[in-house]
Structure 1
């Protein structure tokens, strides 16, 4: 091939690449702050929707993990961002828990954000080490724990976390006394339950699917209102006679306060489109996530109600963090 032919071929290839590139390649990116670390449940969810969200927004999407202090680090960065429609965050239960467990926060959990949508949730299970706990359902667990109550324990992924409070909700409903053992993360907690260092704990479904299949862990019940698609024979605690046990791991899209209504509408519509994408829906179903995006107003009401609800649980459990 001579020089002219090569040059024409190169120009043709360049033109094709320009046509293939998104029209918004030079548009300022949407910064998506995650107040959690890489590989966490929320991180996995958002990354599964990243491409679809960018397409729906018609702009690049850059994910920024800012974990620390139970989500306070990442949320602090969000509330300081300009309300220009180019910064959002995906928060979870700890956002509603933190006002009750920390003496002081560097922001107002309700008034320093603009709710966009409570997108969905991830079911929680109570799991036990089958070698230590003979119970196979909630009633049997209640009876088991009433025998030598001073000897029983349950683990959580951290003091003051939603996993801790979910465990307290179960213990309170069963009317038993069980010692709480906090861990730094769900991974170490599950490892020690499997190893027999602890009897039980609350866990997300994806984090224990393999152990449930192998039999190294046993699930006692689902903590939410509905059964889990991948575990259709596992009843909820409500079905087993404990309707007060009702909690799941939700996630919500929020923006800085005073975001203009037009930007709220734009981002909300993009979130709806992204989570309606067939590939995203398949990824969510694989993780047993329940997707049902709310309106911005419903999201605001939900966050307020959750903050009030967890405050009552915190008082019962006497949880306080500095």
Structure 2
């Protein structure tokens, strides 16, 4: 299963929410819902949830308190979530790294599938393969592939860190193209983009919002979107898949999860509230500005998506021989 940027799943999710609304309504309370973000303030997921927060709180009928607990690729914050009581008062918002970590870390303090309760895979921020316009003459995937094979390890690619989703996204492109390049890991997206623009590194896969200004300025060249569909923010940029690498399908998704054994009525209460918030004009407008596509999955579909994604990234990690202590 892959994350679709179409509207069908959103409509299906909304219909499911209406079906769930026949359940007994839980009493409103003044106790805040604690939302743990295993990422730093100002990151993509942080910006998304802070924009959704007010509408989410209104739909829940209770305050929402967002708490950033970054560290160890999301493990630190998620470990706090798995230790929380399954009473519907604490959830976390995780991303791709949650299902990647079991494959790159030799030891994990929790089971990424058994120790959580998926509520909804809420949406995704598209990724784009970009190259420094001065250093790399290639204008499409075919030309980049020819360049990579001609120069072999003479071309470098950036990532936001070893084992991160942006690292795996580029590894996926290279594997599909049957090519190799020198990996240059950075400590975060900011320095990664800075060096891409500055020409210290040749290419990389990065979230669309991080590089749109640099694409428009001509400093970076968009080679291809890494999802299955083109996106409104870059309408003239074809997907990598339609350029001959159909196995490349990756975006930065986020999901709401609770501790293990979260009661079904609490799962559906939070899921319904997220659907309601996602459908408000103010949230839609905010997501458009952030180039984030909300396409909420049902709890059941989300659980299957987690399993599928973990298996998929395990294969990619093994091929790329990525390990972390």
Q: Structures share a fold, TM > 0.5?
A: yes
Cα-to-partner distance string for 1:267-314 (whole Å, 9 max, x where unaligned): 110011111111001111122211111110100000000000000000
Aligned residue pair count:
299
The correspondence for 1:235, drawn from 232, 235, 238, is 238
Structure 2 residue runs without a partner (length 5+): 1-26
Higher relative contact order (CA 8 A, sep 6+): 2
- Name segments (4+ residues, structure 1) moved above 6 Å: none
Matches within 5 A, 1:1-322: 27-322=30-325
**Distance in 1 between residues matched to 2:309 and 2:117, nearest whole Å:** 16
**Distance in 2 between residues matched to 1:281 and 1:175, nearest whole Å:** 39
Query: TM-score by structure 1 length?
Result: 0.91
SS of the aligned residue for 2:123 comes to strand
Task: State the 1:150 CA deviation.
Answer: 2.3
**Distance in 1 between residues matched to 2:265 and 2:247, nearest whole Å:** 40
**Distance in 2 between residues matched to 1:102 and 1:34, nearest whole Å:** 20
**Distance in 1 between residues matched to 2:175 and 2:100, nearest whole Å:** 18
**Distance in 2 between residues matched to 1:299 and 1:148, nearest whole Å:** 42
SS of the aligned residue for 1:123 comes to strand
**Distance in 1 between residues matched to 2:218 and 2:231, nearest whole Å:** 18
CA contact (8 A) 1:205 1:287 kept: no
Task: State the 1:109 CA deviation.
Answer: 0.3
SS of the aligned residue for 1:119 comes to strand
Cα-to-partner distance string for 1:57-93 (whole Å, 9 max, x where unaligned): 1000000000000000010000011111110111000
Task: State the 1:211 CA deviation.
Answer: 0.6
250-259 or 280-289: which moved more?
Answer: 280-289
* Aligned residue in 2 for 1:3: none
SS of the aligned residue for 2:80 comes to helix
Query: TM-score by structure 2 length?
Result: 0.90
Cα-to-partner distance string for 1:72-122 (whole Å, 9 max, x where unaligned): 001000001111111011100000100000011111100100100011111
SS of the aligned residue for 1:147 comes to helix
Cα-to-partner distance string for 1:2-41 (whole Å, 9 max, x where unaligned): xxxxxxxxxxxxxxxxxxxxx96x7110000000001111
Task: State the 1:175 CA deviation.
Answer: 1.1
Could you say which structure has the larger radius of gyration? 1
